[in-house]
Chains A and B, each alone.
Chain A
């Protein structure tokens, strides 16, 4: 799983084509990343990768890297 696959999802959900993310990007770095859009982001990632995060996983996320780690875990488990 690479950051390139995640970037278009972020741009689509946040409706901003200029968004660039890296492994350290946090919610506070992106103005559009509020709590409502956070849910839309989760739903979109789950739909695209056909996975389902647990609440415990989501609660521990602090940056993009944490999201990617959990996507990898779930995708590899399928």
Chain B
């Protein structure tokens, strides 16, 4: 059941009615209903994996209590490792077993070794990457004594499988979500108006920007040889805008839907394309994942290697991005995307001192406008370069894309997009919608109070509805990109 489907709209309206009218007596009833609705929502995708989700929830819930109740530091550590590694093991089996096995077989074959091993038909359970990370963060927070384990299976199960965040995040923290489930929620006018405007803004990003650009981007990435250098660069930039609009649009819808139930979800995007450094970019892009990786992967690694000097820290960063690449998908192109982001940090450590003061270091506060513009453009450029590999199906396809940019017989052929017929109209709509989104967000980023006031009013709801009607390309509905992870 996609967020951008009629089925979801009906599901949402019925769920809101039942939550606020029928099951509104106590927090327990509200949570029980939301959990049942979430399991129902998940069953729409694939009911068979509901059992795996239930097992994962119950397993982590019990291990959490065990860690909390154990006195000895050694035993706590053993329980934590058991819980985390079992969760990772399940994720590994479903998501990576075939990937690693077939990569190994290919590798062996390149040395003339033909091994007879049968690959299993393993279907990737939807949302497994997200709910596994919820469980891991819960166990590690208990182990680090940041939180106490909850005694309510119901609340824990809802924290993991709450339907607005179940399929593609934001990856919540127990410290943020569990307290919101304790008390009975009351319907507030601010939640309703902000929820609706978030949903509409998210829809606009998804339908008018992501889906419009997506249909053109797909065309270019499938026939890279047919386009000029400039056309390929434009398509790569369009993909970066598409994935941002797709994923941040999805997150806006998820956060908006959740607000309608009186629950606030974590911010996932904070104007990433206006970052002046790669470190800043990662504090603004997919924040719930990058803060997860920072707290549970980078920090423990960097602390372990902290006496190895700056290269110990760099190694930790590189490994963190490598894991981020793997998390995104079982494909070497995602791993390479992670490697590239790891490499983007290298100049930061090659500097003479502890830190680099290059154009994409993080010490450029209050620079000149031209300096800031150059920093922003260079960060955006690096992000787009890495995105080419994220979008290409293989690493080789990514390099071919770059090859076609640099060694192309035609560097500019403006009619190449127009030749595609109906796509030309969609492209114009998409570019127009992108400019509206990016300029609106830039004004908000610069905290322009006039824009903020405008966007907080009912005018925003009306305006976005109108824009959706004019610029939406509903005929090209594409699934949210992050649903596959």
Interfacial residues, chain A to chain B (CB-CB below 8 A): 15, 31-32, 34-40, 42-43, 55-56, 58-60
Contact = CB atoms under 8 A, between A and B. Distances in A.
Q: For chain B, what secondary structure do more than half of its interface residues adopt (helix, strand, loop), or is it mixed? A: helix
A32 B303 contact: no
Given A31-B365, A32-B363, A34-B283, A58 B354 contact: no
A31 to B, nearest CB: 7
Nearest to A40: B354
Contacts of B299: 35, 38-39, 58-59
Interface string B275-295: 000010001000000000010
Interface residues on B, range: 20 to 34
A35 B363 CA distance: 14
B146 interface: yes
B449 to A, nearest CB: 22
B300 interface: yes
Nearest to B302: A39
Given A35-B294, A60-B145, A55 B303 contact: yes
Interface in B341-381: 348, 354-355, 362-363, 365
B317 A42 contact: no
B313 interface: yes
A36 B279 contact: yes
B306 interface: yes
Contacts of B294: 35
A60 B141 CA distance: 9
B42 interface: no
Nearest to A44: B354
B110 interface: no
Nearest to A31: B365
B307 interface: yes
Interface in B240-285: 279, 283
B303 A58 contact: yes
B144 interface: yes
A30 B27 CA distance: 38
Contacts of B313: 36, 39-40
A38 B302 CA distance: 10
B318 interface: no
B138 interface: no
